[in-house]
Amino acid sequence: MIPAKIDSTSITSISKKSVESIFDWLNQHKQAFYTLGWSYLSNQKEMEELFYRSILKIHKELPRFKSETSFETWVTSIFIHICRELSIDRGLQASGEGEPRQSIFKALDQLKDIEKEAMVLTYVKGLSHVEAAQLLQISVEKLKELLFSGIQSLRIEMGYGSSFNGCKEYYKEYIDYLERTLDRPKKIDLEIHIYHCQECQVDLAGFQDVMLTMIDLTDGMKDLHIPSGFMENVKARLVEKEKDRQQKNKKRLRMGIVFASFIALLIGIEVFTESFTSLYYTWTEKDQELRPFLQQDLGERMNLEAESDGVKIKIRSVIADDVQTLVFYEIEDTNEENKYMMNYDDGVIVENELDLMNTEGHPRYYPPDLKSDGNKKEKNVYQGKISLLPLNKENGTIKLKITRLLKLIRDSSDQKVISTPLYPGYETGEWNFEIPVTKQPSVEYALNQETEVEGIPVRFDKLTIAPTATILQYGINNEKPEKMIDVLNIDNLEVNNKIVKTDLYGSTFMNSQQDMNWTTFQTNFEPLFGEKPKEVHVQLASINLTFQDPKTIELDAAKQYPQTFEYAGSTISIDKLEVGQPSIIVISDHEVKNRAYEAINFNIVGEDENEPITTEMNTDGVLVDKNGTEYDTNEFPVPFDEIEQPRYFVTVQSMKLDGNGTGEKVVPKKLEIFGYSATKYLEDVVKISLK
């Protein structure tokens, strides 16, 4: 359940408040997520670890969050992923620790993982079939198949017997029939058949009993007791981690190392060596991504190899700097025609991470690339790269342990990876490496350039040129809350007439306390390989803005709906207002052409303005690219990578309101709009001279 005020507020406000704000958000929704976690885990120690890891993971991944999905759905995917990790760890440890669990939980534990995911998301989390299917990256029909097989398995586990004698051609109708969503002609046909078929009567009755048990479980678990001090224990661990971070920062000695400071000994030999190295790797290194690093003498080829159950991993090279430790690898399936990739924080472990690496760093995300020349040749070989934390020492040996690989599932064109981050295919095993590594120097350049974007001051502070990335640090002034830039999107960076594109997954918010009136960000670009900048051009692409534009709409359940009102140049409809347990409100605006806003930020107020209201919100919307072409988000998969600068317009918002668990009816009296969010495309170029 999500309070409307929080759910409708820009996620940027959460990122600005960092870990503390994420803790507060999860604390407000702890009952629903505690219930979800209890479906997987069996003791309070594991539950505390679950909430602790989830908060850190949400904070870490927040820059990658895209508003095409709701914040709650995105958090749920992370939460379940960690649930699964902890439940797997518990199974491997076989500790036997645990608290008494309801029999339904024990029965759920016996299901196949994918069946359990479907059952938990649908009946415990209470997601719709569409939402659950999207999270699992499967079709709604496939979800229903999993629900059916899961319920059939639960029938056996719960003692209903193992024989199923009903007519199989009607099995696919059971779910929709019992959920009262079956089309009327099919419903009539099924009821006529059941009336004459005793076997189907028995089958359907047992099926219904299991579904009712799941529903009763869900209702009962709304009051699942959370031990006193539970969230306080989680917060104490977060505070302790923050203290450790601050202590490490005090001990760190930051030294700017400039490429130009290298003394060229034996200049003639050096020049010859560099020329030969570049030419040699041009001839011999086919990987176009790795080749420039080797040509610049920033790394060397390696011949490290490990094999487990016919899957062979080769470490091809490692490039380390102050930004990240970049590992180039190759994975070959010698038994079948599968492609696998490494996934950071998912079966990839640096065993000496605390000793060798800077844990305050942020590894980059590199999506799988099946279009590269190296990955088009063999169906059983994948060449990729993975980002690890940067080193905190000049050199060392990385003890890398790999226990799980992500299977890349391709569509029929063999071009797109359609594997899901929530329930992908895995290959387990154990591959161990000891990788020698040396940290390469980076260069920092002060920019001290200020401009205005849409009347809001923007300050460009620093340019960092590292071997593996180019990083632009900038600040946005936040003194005037009536109009604020949440995100500044940069298309590319031109340095000395050389253009480098923005890394779509590399922008981060920096929790800088240097100036209360400025919020600091950094955007990552492709590497420049030691280029000394004389002139920098920053090509802006778009900005995401939040406007304060308050308006209060009086609500009256006695009126006939729909009712409309004008806001920000648009006509918004209140389609439904029903008072009950829960109360329901639906608002919509389907006209997106020339609309000033993409989403409105609002709150629902009841008769008692001080009484908190818990809101479950579902949204529908449409993606619109820069040229005005619309894309239906209900069609899967949505081609996000192919859409030019998409905007997500919310068209329908459906809310269920209750009295924050009190059981009292909520009578909505006001719709309080705070403002709205919008995207504006830019063509501005900011020119910065360093001469």
What's the domain count of the chain?
4
Residue tagged 């009841």 (tokens): 606
| Together in a domain, 524 and 594 | no
Structure tokens, 83? 């649930």
| Together in a domain, 33 and 106 | yes
Residue 495 lies in a domain: yes
| Together in a domain, 88 and 206 | yes
- Backbone dihedral angles phi then psi of residue 516, each to the nearest 5 degrees: -65, -25
In terms of pLDDT, which residue wins out, 653 or 8?
653
Q: Is the pLDDT of residue 414 over 50?
A: no
| Together in a domain, 356 and 434 | yes
The confidence band for 2, taking pLDDT boundaries of 50, 70 and 90, is very low
> Of 376, 405, 438, which residue is a domain's last?
438
> Of 413, 438, 463, which residue is a domain's last?
438
| Together in a domain, 331 and 465 | no
Closest by CA position to 113, among listed 18, 193, 177, 40: 40
- 83 contacts 36 by C-beta, under 8 angstroms: yes
What does the alpha-carbon distance between residue 231 and residue 219 come to, in Å, rounded to a whole number?
23
Q: What does the radius of gyration of the chain's CA atoms come to, in whole angstroms?
A: 28
Instruction: Please measure the distance between the N-terminal and C-terminal CA atoms of the chain and give it in whole angstroms.
Output: 56
> Of 438, 460, 483, which residue is a domain's last?
438
Residue 254 lies in a domain: no
| Together in a domain, 414 and 271 | yes
Residue 235 lies in a domain: no
Q: Which range, 90-99, 287-296, 655-664, has the best average confidence (pLDDT)?
A: 287-296
Q: Is the pLDDT of residue 281 over 50?
A: no
49-54-60 Cα angle (round to 5): 130
Exposure string over 329-360, b if 16+ CB within 10 A, otherwise e? bbbbbeeeebbbbbbeebbbebeebeebbbee
Q: What is the DSSP letter of 439?
A: B
* Average pLDDT of the segment spanning 500-519: 73
Domain holding 357: CATH number? 2.60.40
Residue 246 lies in a domain: no
- 390 contacts 356 by C-beta, under 8 angstroms: no
pLDDT at 90: 58
Number of H helices and E strands in the chain, helices first, is: 17, 25
pLDDT at 26: 87
pLDDT at 252: 45
Reduce the DSSP state of residue 115 to 3 states and report it: helix
CB proximity list for 115: less than 8 A, separation 6 or greater? 146, 149, 150, 153
- 606 contacts 666 by C-beta, under 8 angstroms: yes
What does the alpha-carbon distance between residue 33 and residue 345 come to, in Å, rounded to a whole number?
22
What does the alpha-carbon distance between residue 281 and residue 423 come to, in Å, rounded to a whole number?
40
| Together in a domain, 386 and 284 | yes
Q: What's the whole-number average pLDDT of the chain?
A: 79
| Together in a domain, 431 and 448 | no
Q: Is the pLDDT of residue 449 over 60?
A: yes
220-223-229 Cα angle (round to 5): 145
Reduce the DSSP state of residue 70 to 3 states and report it: coil
% of the chain residues with pLDDT over 90: 32
What does the alpha-carbon distance between residue 253 and residue 322 come to, in Å, rounded to a whole number?
13
What does the alpha-carbon distance between residue 190 and residue 202 come to, in Å, rounded to a whole number?
14
Is the bond leading into 637 cis (omega within 30 degrees of zero)? Answer: yes
Q: pLDDT tens-digit profile of 366-398?
A: 888 888 878 888 889 999 999 999 999 999 999
In terms of pLDDT, which residue wins out, 658 or 574?
574
What does the alpha-carbon distance between residue 500 and residue 502 come to, in Å, rounded to a whole number?
7
pLDDT at 512: 53
pLDDT at 83: 85
Beta strand spans in 526-562 (E): 535-554
| Together in a domain, 525 and 566 | no
pLDDT at 104: 62
Q: pLDDT tens-digit profile of 319-365?
A: 999 999 999 999 999 998 889 999 887 889 999 998 999 988 888 88
Among 6-15, 123-132, 522-531, 538-547, where is mean pLDDT lowest?
6-15
What does the alpha-carbon distance between residue 477 and residue 485 come to, in Å, rounded to a whole number?
8
What does the alpha-carbon distance between residue 645 and residue 623 come to, in Å, rounded to a whole number?
10
Q: Is the pLDDT of residue 127 over 70?
A: yes
Closest by CA position to 63, among listed 447, 511, 483: 511
| Together in a domain, 409 and 457 | no
Q: Is the pLDDT of residue 279 over 60?
A: no
| Together in a domain, 560 and 655 | yes
Reduce the DSSP state of residue 197 to 3 states and report it: coil
Maximum distance among all Cα pairs of the chain, rounded to whole angstroms: 96
Residue 675 lies in a domain: no
Reduce the DSSP state of residue 580 to 3 states and report it: coil
Among 100-114, 431-445, 605-619, 650-664, where is mean pLDDT lowest?
100-114
pLDDT at 17: 45
Residue 229 lies in a domain: no
Exposure string over 399-408, b if 16+ CB within 10 A, otherwise e? bbebbbbbbb
Whole domain around residue 460: which residue ranges? Answer: 443-544+683-689
Q: pLDDT tens-digit profile of 227-257?
A: 888 888 888 888 877 776 666 555 443 433 3
| Together in a domain, 414 and 496 | no
Residue 514 lies in a domain: yes
Reduce the DSSP state of residue 241 to 3 states and report it: helix
Residue 676 lies in a domain: no
Structure tokens, 378? 């063999």
The confidence band for 617, taking pLDDT boundaries of 50, 70 and 90, is confident
Closest by CA position to 326, among listed 288, 365, 280: 365
Q: Is the pLDDT of residue 318 over 90?
A: yes
- 649 contacts 522 by C-beta, under 8 angstroms: no
pTM of the predicted model, to two decimals?
0.60
